[in-house]
Structure 1
Amino acid sequence: MKGILAEIASMVKDFGSAPTFAEMPRKTLADKGIAGPTAAHTIEEVHTPLNLAYLTFTTGSSAFQNIVGITFAELPARVKASFTVLERAGLKAGDKVLVTYPPLVNVFSGEAFKKYGLQWEFLVRSSRDAFLAALYEFQPKAVVGESSFIRASLEDAKHMGVADELPKDIVLLTAGTPLDLELLPIAQEVLNAEVHDLYGCQEFGWLCMDGVPVRDDIELVKLPDNGGQDMYELVVGGLPMGDSFPVSESGHVCNRNGKVITYRRERTYPEYEVIVKATTLTSTVTLGRVARSILRIKGRVVKISPDVVTGAEHTVLELIPDYITAGKQQGIVIEGPAKTRFFDDLVQAQLDYQQKAKADPTWTKRN
């Protein structure tokens, strides 16, 4: 018996159905396209589930930073939206892009940058002087970064008398926080730059550029009376963002054809609840798993109607006010397939996950 176990001990070191630690696939920061410095993070290795394309984090602008899971099923629409942004900005394959804050690449996804054919680099340090040095040395066609940081850096360049040494005619894709309107004149003066305002988030990717949606499954839902200012909740694929904006016919400051004034964002309070009224799924058990998965990886609460219709031709979701605004506003029905794309992509991700057995045989779980 001892001889058999000794042989097994020798065999499992050389081969087996499960990988050793050294054989496990790795997704490094470089693989994700975000291998750059930040002053706000540490670098930690984690075991990432095989059903997720990658992990990222919320910005923490409205609450504690939380983990966000990006599924493979949602990547095509996310990449398509990113292509729309890059095309509207006039970028082309081979262009050099300077990214001031590496996690912003996760909103595009590194895959989008790779497929589009961009070359992108990061700052040596996450500081304004490092940004000016990178502009001078790297000579990018475009910059992706937070608008106030870029504005303050360009003011530094003026004060130091080095503005003339910086590249001209570049594209600024500002993101991460509401657009700092004071950036516009100094960007024109120092860089002769074209400024664009991107709105999106780690959970959903890019949603609007200069007030114009970049996805086909975006709805604007008018909120109840807001002190005389009409505000509209932005809903993506049936899931509310929790952000509201004015909509103006006079247009966005960066594009008069853009009607969503994304730099005047307000947090929606109270937030809508999402109720699934009909689903293409035939099992309410699977639908329940979808709802829990959305809560866990996207932080959005989805509930299932007691009389939900299964096996429907398309998804039907209802957005209803919570108890605080009950009676002030009617529910809003959103019907698929076009307008529930994001929700349906997450349904597909759940189905893909269920069709694959857990790859680690040491993990045993009773149903």
Structure 2
Amino acid sequence: MRSTFLPFSKPSISEAEIEAVAEVMRSGWITTGSKALAFEQAFANYCGAQGAVALSSATAGMHLLLTALGIGPGDEVITPSLTWISTVNLIRLLGATPIFADVERDTLMVSSETVAPLISEQTKAIIPVHFAGAPVELDALRQLAAASQISLIGDAAHAAGTEYRGERIGHRGTTIFSFHPIKNLTCGEGGMFCSDDAEMLEHIRRLKFHGLGVDAFDRTMQGRSPQAEVLEPGFKYNLTDMAAVLGLGQLSRLDGFIEKRTQLAERYNKLLVEVDEILPLITPTYPMRHAWHLYVVRVDSKHEGMDRDRFMAALKEKNIGTGIHFKAAHLQRYYRETMPQPQGTLKNTEWNSARLCSLPLFPDMELSDVDEVVAAIKEVLA
């Protein structure tokens, strides 16, 4: 058994990044400023996006976008139930109705086939999730959204550095990224809104800081204009320079992170072939680059009493951490009670929700750590 605990995720922070944050703190300008602007530009360049807006979280980005689209009572938004609960919560908080699309059993992503039957006259947006670092099949969803004249919002919380058919996620359309500590790129907390819609970019930039007609930091003023006018009610979702400078350092290392994550994932793939009761996700066959944000398996044990939760507890006893991504939103208590799903409509979602388990995967791991995880899995299931 391991002598030290192996978490399922851990950020890789360099000494240079620590010093960059310290330099910002010593500068006297620690809130949104030149570093946040530089991070926006660098991230837009990396993705090939027309523009980007740095935010305090991906949840903030989703809130601002749904607000900017005017989504509210009487509207419907199609999204998977197998996602982090923030998107579903925001739809409800704005008075709209989430409509849950089932996922493909072995990729955990929606498809045009699962989404199309759910579109109605009330549908205002589709929010597919790029899951675990793999991209959703976008072409068919883009065609579907365009034909129905509804918004397609890319949830790329898992997909910084992911590529789809030769383009980085964020290059086209409207996309929201997360920089939470477990993500491939972290700011501690943070998010980024990318779009090729110049008017929407300006709207999000305004909404993120109280609805002011100028950004929180005006490079010509070296600060915020005291004459700034409120053009509409807005929020307070700006990213600080302390967080942004960490993001800049992380962005410069992102491709290296993905390379290491890929090596670790390939090792898992090779070794877990020997374990019949552990079912990794299937990598999509269309042209893509997987960013390997998570290494997700399904625990389908034949042993009496060995379900996913007991499996995770047994691994923890062997000093190995795991995670669940995610318990389906419609199975959470509030949604069970307020909008119960007709039985059988989300079969793949529910089957996976009961079995999902994320194994340790982060850049500072070694291949030998993967070997130890798989050895422990075999012991637990023996």
TM-score of the pair, normalised by structure 2: 0.29
TM-score of the pair, normalised by structure 1: 0.30
Q: Higher strand fraction: Structure 1 or Structure 2?
A: 1
Q: Higher helix fraction: Structure 1 or Structure 2?
A: 2
Larger Rg computed on CA atoms: 1
Structure of greater relative contact order (alpha carbons < 8 Å, 6+ residues apart):
2
